[in-house]
């Protein structure tokens, strides 16, 4: 049981550590194109509907990533609680 809790905590810590990096990449992707990077220019109101849709999907990447890793940690701990009683 102790190993499972440690494994779940490691996944939670990884989610907390990597979420700011994902947010930084998302912000760079949504920014306008510069000399060194190509961006989606999501602040521009004259972009196409396809680019607006891509901006929304890119913006949703951070919460999906974070809550996905939290769900994995919950599944690891929950599986041990549910199936661990058979040992």
At 86 the pLDDT is 55
At 85 the pLDDT is 62
For range 43-52, the mean pLDDT: 92
- Report, in angstroms and rounded to the nearest whole number, the Rg of the chain calculated over CA atoms: 19
Rounded to two decimals, the pTM is 0.79
Is the separation of the CB atoms in 74 and 8 below 8 Å? yes
Give residue 45's domain range.
2-86
DSSP 18-81: HHHHHHHHHHHHHSPP-SS-----TT-TTS-HHHHHHHHHHHTHHHHHHHHHHHHHHHHHHHHH
Average pLDDT, the chain: 91
Is the separation of the CB atoms in 77 and 8 below 8 Å? yes
Residue-wise pLDDT for 11-35, tens only, equals 999 999 999 999 999 999 999 999 9
At 25 the pLDDT is 94
The total number of structural domains that make up the chain: 1
């Amino acid at each position: 049981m102790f190993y499972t809790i440690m494994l779940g905590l490691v996944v939670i810590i990884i989610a907390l550590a990597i979420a700011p990096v994902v947010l930084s990449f998302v912000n760079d992707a949504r920014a306008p194109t510069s000399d060194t990077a190509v961006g989606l220019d999501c602040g521009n109101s004259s972009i196409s509907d396809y680019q607006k849709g891509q901006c929304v999907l890119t913006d949703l990447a951070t919460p999906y990533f974070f809550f996905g890793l939290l769900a994995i940690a919950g599944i690891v701990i929950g599986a041990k609680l549910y199936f661990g009683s058979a040992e």
